């Protein structure tokens, strides 16, 4: 569909047969056009934020808060013996959990050291 308008010389009116009314540059957008533009931009922003939140993985995993028991290492104890005393099965996993909780780089501990032991 095409638009065809003819303005005769001296005639102030024009015939508009198209879909859009011409907007005078001096007037700017009409009130309804500004409202429509604002609603379209706002709805696009909401869709983008919702899409980003859905793909970010926020809320995928729920991590339970870990509670700890503080233990003073007795003389002659090793990390394995402390872990086996507080473990309920997998001692190696408890050793690694104690190392991670106390930021230990190795497996050596000294007597009198205070260790945080995770409760399971």
> pLDDT, tens digit, for every residue of 9-44?
555 555 555 566 655 555 578 899 999 999 999 999
Domains along the chain? 68-118 (3.10.350.10)
Contact indicator for 80, 91 with CB cutoff of 8 Å: yes
Q: Is a pLDDT exceeding 80 seen at residue 102? A: yes
pTM here is: 0.48
Task: Return the number of other C-beta atoms located less than 10 Å from residue 92's C-beta.
Answer: 11
Give Dmax over CA atoms of the chain in angstroms: 110
Residue with tokens 């507080």: 86
Helical residues (DSSP H) of the chain, grouped into ranges: 31-55, 79-86, 91-102
Cα–Cα distance measured from residue 116 to residue 120, given in angstroms and rounded to the nearest whole number: 13
């Amino acid at each position: 569909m095409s638009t065809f308008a003819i303005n005769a010389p001296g005639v102030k009116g024009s015939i508009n047969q198209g879909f859009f009314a011409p907007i005078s540059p001096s007037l700017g957008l009409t009130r309804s056009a500004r409202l429509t533009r604002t609603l379209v931009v706002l709805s696009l922003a909401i869709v983008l934020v919702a899409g980003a939140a859905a793909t970010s993985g926020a809320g995928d995993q729920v991590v339970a808060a870990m509670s700890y028991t503080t233990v003073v290492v007795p003389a002659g104890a090793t990390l394995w013996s402390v872990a086996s005393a507080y473990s309920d099965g997998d001692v190696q996993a408890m050793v690694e959990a104690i190392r991670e909780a106390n930021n230990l780089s190795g497996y050596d501990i000294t007597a009198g050291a205070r260790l945080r032991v995770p409760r399971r």
